[in-house]
Amino acid sequence: MAVSQENIEMDEIQNILNKYEQIDIKNNTQSLESLNSFAFNFYSDVSEIYDSFTRIKNTERNKSGYSLNDAPILALLVKTWKLLKEILIYYEKNNAEIISILERPLIESAITATYLMQSDESVIEDCRKCSYKDRLRILRDYQNGLEFFKTKPGKRLLKSVTEKMQLEGFTPDDFKEQKANRWRIQGKSFFDIFKEVEHEDLYRYSFGIMSESIHCSWNDSMDWCLQKNDDDTFDIFPFYHHADVRYVTPTLHSLDRPYRLWLQRIGVDEKYFFDVLEWIVKINSMLYGSFDNLYDE
């Protein structure tokens, strides 16, 4: 197997790991202050490692870029580490409200990538086709003579949709199955997909609550934007809530697997990279236990 940039990525990852040889991890998990600082730095390093994994390429398998059935998975993995990095920025800003918005697509991207890699190629094509629901409506509106498509923004939008359809070789008649399945991958809700990847009970306590909040939930408004008075009336809460970095720990549990599956999918068999993933799991599990011991709820 030939892996392009293998040495570069190994060096980048090893530079991260070398830092931890100089750190007394046990000593850094004895107090809440040191634990929070250590955990934040660890999560930041993990996001850089995930970034590196998406730049590793097996040049025997992929002499150039990735196929239409690889690219959607790779895109989700890139989206995952980008969102993780962005979430950590808002931990630095101590802004839990924005983190709660970003965590939903983070989990969704990681879970969907894992599901696709556990499925056959027809499911990946189905996933690609499901993204065309509103774009097909754009084509219908254009064919029906909507005036918007005579404007410059309308022409740009139409050009974008048309070029994507041509790239994939799709016509408007190629989406009967997706329409019958209500534009869901294999007709499954995200909950159906989630419970095939993770334990079903995790959904309601992680993604389920965030999924509700994306639809302008009243409970969400009470949590983030209002404060209750003693007489049961409400006033605005104009500040951002404190961000607690320990909540990254259970989230990271869902992020490890898709990167492991990706390396296997593209035929990267270098043991070093899989050992790094095991190291991430080990440190993350240690952090989970440390947070649990030090926090008195």
The full set of domain ranges for the chain reads 3-132+175-294
What CA–CA distance (Å, rounded) separates 167 from 170?
8
Q: Which of 34, 36, 13 is nearest to 24 (CA)?
A: 34
- Model confidence pLDDT, tens digit, residues 63-114: 999 999 999 999 999 999 999 999 999 999 999 999 988 998 999 999 999 9
What CA–CA distance (Å, rounded) separates 147 from 129?
27
In 3-145, which ranges are continuous DSSP H helix? 6-21, 32-55, 71-92, 96-117, 121-130, 133-143
Q: Tokens 């995930």 appear where? A: 50
Torsion-angle region of 153 (φ positive above 0: left; ψ -120 to 50: alpha; else: beta): alpha
What CA–CA distance (Å, rounded) separates 270 from 57?
12
- Model confidence pLDDT, tens digit, residues 251-290: 998 999 999 999 999 999 899 999 999 999 999 999 999 9
Instruction: Kindly report the pTM of this predicted structure.
Output: 0.91
The count of residues in the chain is 297
Tokens of 284: 């993350």
